[in-house]
Amino acid sequence: MSIELSGLQKRFKLQHKHSSKQQQRDPRERDGYFHSVEHVGFHCQQGEVLGLLGPNGAGKTTTLRMLSTALTPDAGDILIDGQSIVRNPILGRRKIGFLSGSTGLYGRLTAKENVSYFAKLHGIKGKQLSARLDELFTLLDMHSFLDKRAEHLSTGMKQKTNIARAVVHSPSVVVLDEPTTGLDIMTKQTVLNFIQQLKVQGTPVIFSTHHMDEVSMLCDRIHIIDQGFSCFDGTVAELQQAGQHQELNAAFMQLLKRDTEQPNV
């Protein structure tokens, strides 16, 4: 199982006009559009964790929304085992487990009811449903709050429930957008252990984060997006070499600085 993104582009119509004399305008604002993603492409293979990095506003969120089929690319394609989910978005929704920063739960349903509901939407029921729920609730250490309404859950409990909801249908590919943001140390470790388990099971994981300790712990490869373009793809060691620094934060910043000084054309 693998996923490949190639030549992705996405622009949005600007709602305001710019003066020709306006200074320091974002170079991606042109011709009445904001070109959020100019050219992005990467792949993730079976059993691989790919760290997706980039500064705020780089185009990561737009890329992930195209990957989730919430947005349709203006150009490019997304293939899962050679099948296009741009042309067949329903296939993508079946094969991808997607967790975004804005994913919500139904507040009046319990944690268990939320996950069960989404499982049933995927056609999972009966003994298969019971077995899958028990497996996830154990892996994510959720048994202590399963009967609490989502509106009364802590941030960590909600995130565990969101992750269980995203992967309840045993997707072929898992995409996690900053899954540890705002979590306490214990909950964060549970989430990281769960990602490791996905890797052991052979599931490709695309993992967006700003935390370099998580990158060094989990990621087989790193892909960096800056100003709407793919600007790096390689291993942790290759990022250290490209950024001329052993410390990942410093290597990342150096690579972005070099990319800014030599803009894409």
Nearest CA to 148 out of 118, 183, 180, 108 is that of 108
Query: How is residue 152 annotated by DSSP?
Result: G
Per-residue tokens: 192: 């990281």
Comparing CA positions, the residue from 253, 115, 101 lying closest to residue 180 is 101
Tokens of 185: 């140390």
36-51 residue pLDDT tens: 999 999 999 999 999 9
Instruction: For the chain, give the number of residues.
Output: 265
Total-model pTM:
0.90
Q: How far apart are alpha carbons 179 and 87 in whole angstroms?
A: 28
* Helix (H/G/I), strand (E/B), else coil: 69: coil
Minimal CA–CA distance to 137: which of 105, 113, 155? Answer: 113
Helical spans, DSSP H, in the chain: 60-67, 89-95, 111-121, 126-139, 155-167, 185-200, 212-218, 236-242, 248-261
**80-77-46 Cα angle (round to 5):** 25
- Between the CA of residue 99 and those of 159, 161, 223, 233, what are the distances in Å? 9, 11, 19, 23
**Cα–Cα nearest to 179, from 198, 195, 202, 200:** 195
Q: Tens digit of pLDDT per residue, the chain (265 long)?
A: 899 999 999 999 998 665 455 556 778 999 999 999 999 999 999 999 999 999 999 999 999 999 999 999 999 999 999 999 999 999 999 999 999 876 689 999 999 999 999 999 999 999 999 999 999 999 999 999 999 999 999 999 999 999 999 999 999 999 999 999 889 999 999 999 999 999 999 999 999 999 999 999 999 999 999 999 999 999 999 999 999 999 999 999 999 988 776 655 4
Domain annotation for the chain: domains and CATH numbers = 3-12+26-106+173-261 (3.40.50.300)
Identify the bridge partners of residue 33 per DSSP, sorted by sequence position. Answer: 13, 30
- State the Cα–Cα distance between residues 27 and 57, nearest whole angstrom: 13
**Sign (positive/negative) of CA torsion 104, 106, 107, 111?**
negative
